[in-house]
Structure 1
Amino acid sequence: MEKPLFPLVPLHWFGFGYTALVVSGGIVGYVKTGSVPSLAAGLLFGSLAGLGAYQLYQDPRNVWGFLAATSVTFVGVMGMRSYYYGKFMPVGLIAGASLLMAAKVGVRMLMTSD
């Protein structure tokens, strides 16, 4: 079998990047507006996404964990907030990143299901 031209990036690295984006979004929301709920949500959901990425790092077949739940939850919550406020930044960016993460996790779920 031929080796792929470009090696595939493991899903857990995308998960760690997504974690950093969620946590930094919560911190920026707190710094710019003083929003404690934004900070709490960013740290909570970022921690859950980080835990899911770590679980995925330990066992690549373990995609049914926190990473999937966090990304799907953020697609709904941030997508509705983006629609309600009519702005892309910052909630639309997080909704888009969450949608991409949920799609990537969903594809991995389909690939690993027996």
Structure 2
Amino acid sequence: MTDYPGYIYSLLVFTGGVIGYVKAGSVISLAASSVFGAAGAYGATLVSRDPKNVVFSLVVSLVLLLIMGSRFSKSGKFMPAGLVSLLSLLMVARYGYRLLQ
């Protein structure tokens, strides 16, 4: 069973960093989104191979939730920190639920 939501999440995280780089020239945004996008895609691959193997994906989503949630609480700006926080929260809930099953 392919983890399509995990792959889509990873692609959105990476795309957000590319947009941040193009719009603001933020190399840090590009680097961070590349790392988290690749980690998310790797996690989605693990979940696709074994639907019970969600720990790596859960940790990646949780770390991104904490980082971007902190940025959102400081800035109050929905884009991009709020959106990534919301998506990360959904993925944490999804993987957390699957871990507890």
Q: Is 1:33 paired with 2:24?
A: yes
State the identity as a percent.
44
- 12, 35, 44: which one pairs with 1:44? 35
- The gaps in structure 1 that reach 5 residues or longer are 1-9
How many residues align? The count is: 101
Which entry has the higher C-alpha Rg, 1 or 2? 1
With the length of structure 2 as denominator, give the TM-score of the two structures.
0.96
For 1:27 and 1:69, locate their aligned partners in 2 and report how far apart those are by CA, in whole Å: 23
- The gaps in structure 2 that reach 5 residues or longer are none
For 2:81 and 2:9, locate their aligned partners in 1 and report how far apart those are by CA, in whole Å: 14
Amino acid at match of 2:41: G
CA RMSD of aligned residues (A): 1.1
With the length of structure 1 as denominator, give the TM-score of the two structures.
0.85
Structure having the larger proportion of residues in helix: 2
Q: Which residue of 1 aligns with 2:11?
A: 20
Amino acid at match of 2:39: L
For 1:89 and 1:63, locate their aligned partners in 2 and report how far apart those are by CA, in whole Å: 28
- 81, 90, 101: which one pairs with 2:71? 81
- 76, 90, 94: which one pairs with 2:84? 94
